[in-house]
Amino acid sequence: MKKILLLIVSVFTVLYGCQQSEAQDKDVKTLTLAHNQSTTHPVHKSLEEFKKEVEKKSHGKLKIKIYANGQLGSEREAIEMTQTNAIQFTKVSASALESFSESYSLFSMPYLFESQDSFRSIMKKPEVQNSFFNTTKDNGFVGITYYDAGLRNIYTKDREIKTNKDLHGLKTRVQPSKTSVELIKSLGGTPTPMSFGEVYTALQSGVIDAAENNETALTDNKHGEVAKNYYNTEHAIVPDILIMNKDAYNDLSKEEKGWIKSAARSSTEKHEVIWDKAIKEAIKSAKEDMNVKFHDVDKSSFKKAVKPLQEEFKNNKGTEKQYKLIKEAEQNE
């Protein structure tokens, strides 16, 4: 009898606990965020900061579930899932958003920003952010914040680069976007669009001679195992953008939107520290563990070569508003 009584109590406790959990879950909104970087990547660490801040500020009323490593699909697939609200957030490169809003192609304009410090200062301005973030409302999503993805530089298997003329005939991997192709063409190279996940094998097999990215690609993605020369062309800064489904955002209360925006700003600021540390570590590891050599180049030859493309961006109706805002902000610094 005593055993039966204990069993009844145990079952009641489990059922009551489940009911309590379900009741509590009704007061909790779980939002899904997907991206294609590894869990060791600095941007993932900053997204973890975003998650932590949202949950802290909301006292657990909002929860963020992060899927890294492309678990839910490619960048394009993640954007499409965000459009349909299958997931609420995704983090993608600005270049992946070009086909939804031409304004994002401006980030592929060579030497748009005077420096990384200038980029960071200007991108913090709400009027600059909103000039990009609000252009995709008709596509079903909006920008929430950005993350510095570093200066893009060129790295090769064995080709030496001193001026832009050394890029002639160099098969260089670019992101699969029209402006990324035009960027490398303007620098003098032969662009070869392909997904980021294919780069290692393509370099190894000789399908491409070079790629362009920040220093973490050498270590996090092991490109330094096959590409032994890294050239500081510093030709572009293409940020990562955190986007959110428009309806999911509109369904949030004013207070909830405030939590999201505040957490986003905080994570972007913390990201700069995380990023700078990661770059220093990547350079050190690439030099010491992979024997990658880092080289400075004559950037004046590159800047001269890209002037015609810069003029196209300045006069393009799809990018001229954002270009003017950036240049005005630069002058006022």
**203-240 per-position pLDDT tens digit:** 999 999 999 999 999 998 999 999 999 999 999 999 99
Long-range pairs, 316-319, Cβ under 8 A, ≥24: 316/102, 318/102, 318/103, 318/105, 319/102, 319/103, 319/105, 319/106, 319/109
pLDDT band at 3 (very low <50, low <70, confident <90, very high): very low
pLDDT band at 171 (very low <50, low <70, confident <90, very high): very high
Cβ atoms of 231 and 192 closer than 8 Å: no
Q: What residue ranges of the chain are covered by domains with CATH 3.40.190.170?
A: 2-93+122-147+240-279, 151-237+281-331
**Residue 10's pLDDT band (boundaries 50, 70, 90)?**
very low
On the question of pLDDT at 201 being above 80, the answer is yes
What tokens were used for 60?
């657990």
Can you give the pLDDT at residue 72? 96
Q: What is the mean pLDDT of residues 168-180?
A: 92
Average pLDDT over residues 250-257: 98
Residue 5 has pLDDT above 80, yes or no: no
Tokens of 148: 């510095």
With a pLDDT cut of 90, the percent of the chain lying above it is 87
Q: What is the pTM of this model?
A: 0.87
Scanning the structure block, which residue is given the tokens 């069993």?
Answer: 7
Alpha carbon 295 to chain centroid, angstroms: 25
**Taking residues 147-163, what's their average pLDDT?**
95
Per-state percent for the chain, helix, strand, coil, to nearest 5 = 55, 20, 25
Class of domain 151-237+281-331: alpha beta
What pLDDT is stored for residue 326 in this prediction?
97
* Gap between the Cα atoms of 149 and 76, Å rounded: 18
Hey, CA dihedral for 184, 185, 186, 188, is it positive or negative? positive
* pLDDT score of 185 more than 70: yes
Residue written as tokens 């990018």? 319
Give residue 52's region: left, alpha or beta (phi > 0; psi -120 to 50).
Answer: alpha
pLDDT attached to residue 197: 86
Is the pLDDT at 98 greater than 50, yes or no?
yes
The candidate with the shortest Cα–Cα distance to 144, out of 156, 157, 132, is: 132
Residue 268 has pLDDT above 60, yes or no: yes
- Share the mean pLDDT of the chain: 91
Residue 14 has pLDDT above 50, yes or no: no
The pLDDT-based confidence of 25 (bands split at 50, 70, 90) is low
Q: Going by C-beta distance under 8 Å and a sequence separation of 6 or more, which residues neighbour residue 283? A: 215, 294
DSSP state of 215: T
Nearest to 47 by CA among 59, 32, 28: 32
Cβ burial 54-77 (10 Å sphere, 16+ → b, else e):
bbebbeeebebebbbebebbebee
Reply yes or no on whether the pLDDT at 23 is more than 50: no
Q: Give the residue-averaged pLDDT of 127-135.
A: 97
Q: Which residues lie across from 237 on neighbouring strands?
A: 151
Of 117, 128, 89, 85, residue with least CA distance to 237: 117
Q: Percent of the chain at pLDDT above 70?
A: 92
Query: Is the confidence at residue 147, as pLDDT, over 50?
Result: yes
Give the separation between CA 71 and CA 44, rounded to whole angstroms: 13
Report yes or no: 152 and 212 within 8 Å, Cβ to Cβ: yes
Residue 315 is predicted with a pLDDT of: 93
CATH of 2-93+122-147+240-279, one of 1.10.3210.10, 3.20.20.70, 3.10.129.10, 3.40.190.170: 3.40.190.170
